[in-house]
Structure 1
Amino acid sequence: MHIAILLSSLGAGGAERVLALLTGHWTANGHRVTVIAFDSESDPVFHDFGAGVSQLRLGLPPGGSSPIGLLARRTMRLRRILRTERPDIVVSFLFKINVTTLIAAMGLGIPVIVSERNNPDRQQAHPIWPLLRSLFYPSAAALVLQTEASRKALSRSQAAAGVVIANPITCWPRRPEPEGRKTLVAVGRLDAQKGFDLLLQAFAVVAALHPAWDLVIWGEGPRRADLEAQVAALGIGDRASLPGLSDKPGDWIASASAFVLSSRFEGFGNAMAEAMAAGLPVVAFDCDYGVAVLADRDVDCLVVAPEDVSAMAAAIDRLLGDPALRHRLGTAASISARRFAAPAIFAQWDALLDNSVTGKPAQSPAIADGPVAVT
């Protein structure tokens, strides 16, 4: 089978991570894979998509004053590529890329699977985009969402072909908790969604109570200058740092002693799932969506009300001050995260591709939309 994969860029990110894992699986099983991205050849590639994968980078990144003009340029260019490549199926990730792909593939006879990778209710976009989504999503062979809650957030017509498939999670190696300095880690794009401004406020409240702990926020993004200024204003410059991207995916786990998810909203919470799989103790805002699927409150994770800085500070204080709690949560988290092991998730994607090519209706796999019991 020839599978074409559409995404915005080949940089760091949860969607890119999942597609890199799927690409490796599909090529290992004899499929031909072509990755098509709208960024430029000069932009960095963070994830390993594999030597046997063709990469086409269209040099049409977001920007400019006219979303309609960019959509038209992307659609025409992509349509020419699809006509030339003639894939058996197309898999597209992310809201705007999904719409672009569905328009470009109209009338070509190529089934298109689209996937929402964020909270559909919280994505800010020009008003034309929600309208286009409502018009074109019903034409998709299948719509993949990461949680049942995300599917329910869409209209009935948009979610008619909806199927829930969780993310495949890699278990990265980590070191035992050190005797000396310890690190509380957060990971994500430096933007408003990830709530790192809230995290810095919470950490500043408890930093003096836990002098052996530092906060490290991994990632890059448009809010870097604001966050660095906030670190200075809070007087925690010797305890909180923003080192940028890790050298390789998952490298941040090796030095972590605990993980915090401070997002205002999520699609799934990939970094949190990876932290749990590695056995890290986690504290998280109960944001929509993903945390409710990943976490069993006070069993494998400390969960607090969304955007409640005082509650987050109290939970961080509790976690950093109790080694036995960290051990218990981390052990339970590593067991709970096993339901997202890559082979099982790959099998769900394989079945979806086969059904989409043959025209069979999509069906959600039997995976619990919530935590599993840990004994």
Structure 2
Amino acid sequence: MKRFKVLQLQPDYNIKQHDFADLAEQIFKALPADRFETTMAFLKGRPAPGQPVSRADHSVYFDFSDGALKGMRLKALWQLYRFCRRERFDVVICNRFKPVNMLLQLNRWLKIPLCIGISHGFGEYDRTYRRRQTQRLIDGHWQFVGVSPAVKQYLLDCKCGFTDANTHAITNAIDTDQAQALQLDKAEARTQLGLAQNVRMVGALGRLVPVKGHTYLIQAFAALKDKYPTAQLAIIGAGREQARLQAEIDRLGLTGRAHLLGFRDNALRYVRAFDIWAMPSLAEGLGLALLEGMSGRLPVIASDVPAMLPLITGAGGEVVKPADVASLTTALDRYLALDDAALHAKGEQAYHYLNQHHDIDVFRQQYLALIESGLAAKEPK
């Protein structure tokens, strides 16, 4: 039996030691090895000695410079064209805008039977020239995936070749069994993070950049610091906002009560250090960190942005307005006022929702079905 050759194209090397939330790797897990030969290719970066590699049959590192991937990208396009022409792939899966855009241009000549473009968030097609180019290049070889219903709707609303026939929502998922096996218990997680044991701990995970909304979370927590004197706040992540956020913590009198923990490798290990999980983002494509909090059986608070609203309401969590300190304060107050049993029950509700609606097996089955149906449609009648 012929093995179909599948290429997955990534903008950057980003393989993690554990793949519970690495959805590119999870797609390859969906493909039976006796029917598919897989290649993972990265436009930029490569693993250092000892770093993990993809589970694909083959890994390719183009090592393009930043400059080579800007503007016309002619050299990079030529190298990618020669590679794909030589390998004669049956399927190419492109993650994020740049790989999608490059294959849209190249497949006019390559004629790869099935190309799948995955959009992980909003804004990729906001620019008029991008929409015009995309509309000109989309043809019958292409299918598209948004990582949530909201991202799919964004693509459709762009009106540049994305249609209900060629655009799908396959919601991001998480391997809860693997995630739970990695998580430390509460006491050990707090010890390793240097946090106090006998407190109510509000936690957040994400890059320290403005779009993650951490400044509003800090301000909301400050409004409740006297009402709940044993409560604390901790944020795992690093980024350009760290100094400004630390200054805000000091200004609000939260020294010793609010903690910026910096970057932590395999941060999911520490989820159970927290009692409440907050995600006050101003925008998200889906927000895997929200699913990670649910996997730790934590009650969740998240912003009313299109990609997260159905998740947070389905999980029975607290919905807040983006960049709104008052609504964040109210949500935190509701959870901090609960006794341990009631808070635990809210966490169990979130975990049950995660298993019911973001099951990794369903995610894999949906991608396998998309690929199989796409290939079947290309077979000679």
TM above 0.5: yes
Q: Are 2:337 and 1:337 aligned?
A: no
Partner of residue 162 from structure 2, selected from 156, 159, 162: 159
Correspondence for 2:27? 22
Structure 1, unpaired ranges of 5+: 361-375
Assess, with a 3 A threshold, how the Cα gap between structure 1 residues 63 and 341 changes in structure 2: closer, same or farther. Answer: same
CA drift at 1:54: 2.3
Normalised to the residue count of structure 2, the TM-score between the two structures is 0.80
* Residue of structure 2 in register with 1:320 after alignment: 336
Question: What is the root-mean-square deviation in Å for CA atoms of aligned residues?
Answer: 3.2
Percent identity for Structure 1 against Structure 2: 23
Conserved 8 A contact 1:279-1:331? yes
- Written as runs of structure 1 = structure 2, the 5 A alignment for 1:3-82 is 3-11=6-14, 17-26=22-31, 31-41=36-46, 49-50=54-55, 52-60=56-64, 62=66, 67-69=70-72, 71-82=73-84
Larger Rg: 2
96, 103, 107: which is aligned to 1:105? 107
Hey, what's the Cα distance between the residues in 1 that align with 2:21 and 2:151? 19
CA–CA distance in structure 2, aligned partners of residues 44 and 229 of structure 1: 38
Are the counterparts in 2 of residues 47 and 249 from structure 1 also a CA contact under 8 Å?
Answer: no
Determine the structure 2 residue equivalent to 1:267: 285
Paired residue type of 1:223: E
Moved more, 247-256 or 125-134: 125-134
* 1:203–1:56 distance in 2 versus 1, CA, 3 Å: farther
SS in 2 for 1:8: strand
Q: Which amino acid aligns with 2:312?
A: A
Report the equivalent of 2:87: 85
Distance 1:183 1:9, change over 3 A: farther
C-alpha distance in 1 between matches for 2:304 and 2:186: 26
**Which residue is 1:195 aligned to?**
213
Task: Tell whether the 8 Å contact from 1:46 to 1:248 is kept in structure 2 after alignment.
Answer: no
1:109 aligned partner, one-letter code: K
1:194 partner letter = K
User: How far off its partner does 1:296 sit?
Assistant: 2.1
Structure 1 residue 353: deviation in Å?
0.7
Contact 1:278 1:334 in 2 (8 A): yes
Aligned residues: 354
**Match of 1:189, as an amino acid?**
R
Alpha-carbon distance between aligned partners in 1 of 2:329 and 2:252, rounded to the nearest angstrom: 14
Shift of 1:276: 1.6
Question: How far is 1:90 from its partner?
Answer: 0.8
Shift of 1:129: 3.7
In structure 1, distance between residues paired with 2:267 and 2:25: 11
What letter matches 2:257 in structure 1?
R
Cα distance in structure 2, aligned partners of 1:26 and 1:196: 39
